[in-house]
Structure 1
Amino acid sequence: MTMETRRIRVLVVDDAITVRAYTRQVLEADGFLVEEAVNGIEGLERALADPPDLLIVDVNMPKMDGYSMLRAVRREAALEAVPALMITTESRDDDRLRALAAGANWHLVKPVRPEALVLSARLLSGRPVGDGAESPS
């Protein structure tokens, strides 16, 4: 089964229910299958139990923050190649570099426009970006 014929599974890890709901709504409207976790510990456990095709991780969470979670993910052989998108309110260059150093493949700053979220998810998951995705304006 190719990536084009099956739904791409995304694990969204964020403690804010509104952010998880928004991310789910945007990505499911584009055909992704979205699962959720409320903190880094739960996200790591869920990812280890059934590795997703893409991780979307918030930085500031209780119990285990996003940086710690991504560092732990990258130490696991089953997860080291899973692409990760970090979404945060932190917008300085140092924050972007810290996200990348922790294991993120890409970094977006909240609030995230739906087009940016979809295009980032498509690019990171290997899904074509030219099959109906609107280009950001």
Structure 2
Amino acid sequence: MAIIMVVDDSKTVRNYHGSILKSQGFEILEAENGMEALEKSLGASVDLYLVDVNMPIMDGYSFISDLRKQDAHKTVPVIMVTTQAKEEDKINAFKVGANIFETKPIKPDVLQAYVDILVKS
């Protein structure tokens, strides 16, 4: 079973994304910010990250940048899902290593399509 980490400071958003993914049979890990996600990623084999931009302690850009510095996580897919909708935000996401950039709220069918593409069952 694939493991997906949902990284967002909003419990409501983590629950929303988690419920969509759990209904598709994925195991979900949660983190409230990038620092917590980095710590949890050290002891886990995560198959995909769903990451917000604006979070306390460590934002999504910093998290992805630090994640990509770790050999074990250089190629793990990352979907950035955020309320930030400017072209500059999208460019910054890709610069730090995100695979896909989407704005909130992401529709369940769109999220599932991305997961189907990025996670090998």
Q: TM-score, normalised by structure 2?
A: 0.96
Q: Does 1:22 align with 2:16?
A: yes
Q: Rg: which structure is higher?
A: 1
What SS class does the counterpart of residue 72 from structure 2 fall into? Answer: coil
Q: Equivalent of 2:75, from 74, 81, 106?
A: 81
The residue identity in structure 1 corresponding to 2:35 is I
Structure 1 residues without counterparts, runs of 5 or longer: 1-6, 128-137
Deviation at residue 51 of structure 1 after TM alignment = 2.7
What SS class does the counterpart of residue 22 from structure 1 fall into? Answer: helix
Q: Distance in 2 between matches of 1:51 and 1:45?
A: 12
Q: Distance in 2 between matches of 1:99 and 1:15?
A: 18
Q: Distance in 2 between matches of 1:100 and 1:48?
A: 23
Deviation at residue 20 of structure 1 after TM alignment = 0.3
Structure 1's consecutive aligned runs of 4 or more residues displaced over 3 angstroms after TM superposition are: none
Q: Distance in 2 between matches of 1:83 and 1:26?
A: 18
- The CA RMSD over aligned residues, in Å, is 0.9
Q: Distance in 1 between matches of 2:91 and 2:49?
A: 18
Equivalences for residues 1-137 of structure 1 within 5 A: 7-127=1-121
Superposed CA deviations along residues 27-75 of structure 1, whole A, max 9, x for unmatched, are 1111111110111000011112213000111100000000000000000
